[in-house]
A = this chain, B = another copy of it.
């Protein structure tokens, strides 16, 4: 006789535990298949497959619930619902942040007009024979004098100041003059806490900054 042990096993696993828990006794279905006699208990072939599928889905839902911070209910449907709202919130936040960041970066972006301005600026500089220039000299123990001549671009001065600040360089006295398609910037700078600034390193830093803005 074929006692379907594996059949009983796979089916019973939870039922058995449940039965053992509540002591309600084993209850099992007789198979009512087209070929079915009273003693015959057989299962469909996809029983295990279906069980795996269910388990998989449940597991994924559990994972989903685990990464969604706000949970209103433990229901499967509500898990998905919360995930949906959370995704929407995340999307909105990403868009907002991205927009904000873009706005922040675009405070001195190049527009088409700016482009033409730049062309005009470069042309002006060439016409007037103005060369870009970065000079750094020592004033006293912890102050440097800086002279910068660069092509005029919109927002470039702002970016330069920002970069200086980010590198811990504090402008004490600064002068900007715009003329003939060029920025002439002279500044007296010092370190963040009065630290001494090395001349050559500062000059290189300035040139790096200028090349990037």
Contact = CB atoms under 8 A, between A and B. Distances in A.
A90 B89 CA distance: 10
Given A4-B26, A9-B29, A84 B108 contact: no
Given A14-B32, A27-B31, 9 more contacts: A7-B27, A27-B30, A56-B77, A63-B84, A108-B162, A154-B192, A158-B162, A158-B164, A161-B162
A208 to B, nearest CB: 16
Contacts of A177: 172-173
Query: What class of interface size applies to chain A in its complex with B?
Result: 35 or more
A58 to B, nearest CB: 9
A165 B176 contact: no
Contacts of A9: 27-29
A176 B173 contact: yes
Contact of A28 (B7, B27, B28, B171): B7
B157 A171 contact: yes
A3 B56 CA distance: 29
B87 A67 contact: yes
Contacts of A77: 53, 56-57, 60
